[in-house]
Amino acid sequence: MEIYKFAQEVISDAGAFIRQRMTEDFNIDSKLNPNDLVTDVDKETERFLFEKIEERYPDHRILGEEGQGADIEDTDGVLWIIDPIDGTLNFVHQLENFAVSIGIYIDGKPYAGLILDVMKDDLYHAAYEQGAYKNDRPLHDIEASSLKSSLISTNANWLVRDGINTPFIQIVKDARSVRSLGSAALEFVNVARGTSSAALFYRLHPWDFAGGVILLNEVGGITTTLLGDGLRLLNTNSIIAANKTIHAEIIEYFKADEAFIRNHKKFHKL
């Protein structure tokens, strides 16, 4: 439990660092795609977390979006998977609705998941088989729901992408309604809080889901690929994070679509 406690402290400190740093100027660059932005604050926050963790636990390994642990190829030992800012576009455009996300795995097994809503300073955290919390308050088990009576979340980009969008379009038609927040980690939080019944993504990286999977599991939710398969922790995956009832209903839309299955396999190099 010592690592879990330390993780709660270090993620809260990272939130304070970001809130302070945002009051000063920062540079914004684009990555490969002009809409894929990264700021100085993303990089500095990853550095901040790396230095604190490394100082306390020199033998732990750290994989981060902004370059830490890019050579990591196995899940041996204690592995921290970190997204210093999840929702960088929200950070740049809204100055809210972004998170720090941390998933800790020991020999590939879930140990703890932590997601900090930075501007609200709300910390969602869970240790494996110890329950999930919003700050000091326990989160309750989520309820079963059907697609037709549920709010779900997905990103509009997948709805306009030929070759894979047919099942997404039908799901949107059959759901009560659809929301899109723009931070994968906070979309996991919404499912864990029960304010959304399912979150669907065609591609997430390990740092986008590593914390959320553990949090959601502690309130009785489930996370798999859109075809219902287990996640590969060090790879990109398609993701559905949901209550178990709607999960079973939604994956059938994807499993029934041969073009989707073919393109999904190629895209994720399965």
Choice from 10, 11, 18, 184 touching ligand 2AM (CB under 6 A)? 184
CA–CA gap between residue 160 and residue 103 (Å, rounded): 31
Q: Is 154 in the site for ligand 2AM (CB under 6 A)?
A: no
Contact between residue 225 and residue 238 where contact means Cβ atoms under 8 Å apart: yes
Long-range contacts of 158-167 (CB under 8 A, 24+ apart): 158/200, 158/201, 158/202, 161/202, 163/259, 163/260, 163/263, 164/202, 164/259, 164/260, 164/263, 164/264, 164/267, 166/257, 166/259, 166/260, 167/226, 167/253, 167/254, 167/256, 167/257, 167/260
Phi, psi (rounded to 5 degrees) for 116: -105, 120
- Find which of ligand 2AM, Ca ion, none residue 182 binds, CB within 5 to 8 Å per kind: ligand 2AM
Q: Is 208 in the site for Ca ion (CB under 5 A)?
A: yes
Phi, psi (rounded to 5 degrees) for 145: -155, 160
In whole angstroms, the minimum distance from the beta carbon of 66 to Ca ion comes to 7
Choice from 134, 193, 203, 255 touching ligand 2AM (CB under 6 A)? 203
Choice from 83, 218, 249, 257 touching Ca ion (CB under 5 A)? 83
Q: Is 83 in the site for ligand 2AM (CB under 6 A)?
A: yes
DSSP 230: P
Ligand-binding annotation for 86, yes or no, is yes
CA–CA gap between residue 183 and residue 172 (Å, rounded): 19
Whichever of 135 and 180 has its CB closer to ligand 2AM, that residue is 180
Ligand-binding annotation for 9, yes or no, is no
CA–CA gap between residue 218 and residue 221 (Å, rounded): 7
Ligand-binding annotation for 85, yes or no, is yes
Whichever of 64 and 249 has its CB closer to ligand 2AM, that residue is 64
In whole angstroms, the minimum distance from the beta carbon of 197 to Ca ion comes to 22
Binding range to ligand 2AM, per CB under 6 A, among 51-59, 86-94, 128-136, 159-167: 86-94
Q: Which residues bind ligand 2AM (CB under 6 A)?
A: 36, 65, 83, 86-88, 155, 182-184, 203-204, 208
Instruction: Give the residue numbers of the binding site for Mg(2+).
Output: 65, 83, 85-86, 208
